[in-house]
Amino acid sequence: MNQNQPNTLPPEYFDQVYQANRDPWNFETSLYEREKYAATLAALPRPQYPEAFEIGCSLGVLTAQLAPRCGHLLAVDVSEAALAQARTRCAGLAQVEVRLMRVPEEFPSQQLNLIVLSEVGYYWSPADLARAADQIVAGLLPGGQLLLVHWTPPVHDYPLTGDDVHEFFLAKTDESGPLRHLTGQRHENYRLDLLEKR
């Protein structure tokens, strides 16, 4: 893990990024993102998840695609600029609740069948990743699933890499751990792992 930048990136970092560009990572237009979203949805083995939580929903592009598989989907982000777009995009989806929330400082109280952590974990410091992981494990119902999807090449101003994040969670899947590893995929620039609470 990169200890040179131990601090979690603050909400102001993301507000500045979205103010400079309404779709800074080309979520709406990139073929890479389209293919990654298709792989993300295809990795989920169940047709329906009654209570789902998406950490770092950004503009809500994945949120809108995930919504038909969810009874209730709480989609959160730290950037109000991003959430304004997510609210507009998901306005016709009654099962979607879009909220400003900063994990791990805050975490929903309901028990969850699915948590999606996609392109978020490397923004956390190692300490915040550990705190968030504890909350995620506690927040999942037995049999609840955690889907991790992250870009793997290092980015100079991110505290962690995607591999750091996935390996941290996979360390919780040994025989005595709270999670089990259902499936994993490694693509050219990202990886995907599906875990389930024992």
Strand runs (DSSP E) across the chain, as ranges? Answer: 49-55, 70-77, 96-100, 112-118, 140-151, 179-186, 190-197
Instruction: Specify whether the CB–CB gap between 23 and 82 falls below 8 A.
Output: no
Q: With bands split at pLDDT 50, 70 and 90, how would you rate the model's confidence at 5?
A: very low
CA–CA separation, 169 vs 176, rounded Å?
13
Question: What are the structure tokens assigned to 142, written together?
Answer: 């037995």
31-197: CATH topology is Rossmann fold (3.40.50)
Residue 6 has pLDDT above 90, yes or no: no
Q: Confidence band (pLDDT; 50, 70, 90) for 78?
A: very high
Closest CA to 74 of 31, 108, 40, 23: 108
Query: What are the residue ranges spanned by the domains of the chain?
Result: 31-197
Q: How far is CA 153 from the centre of its chain?
A: 17
pTM of the complete model: 0.95
pLDDT in tens, 24-75: 999 999 999 999 999 999 999 999 999 999 999 999 999 999 999 999 999 9
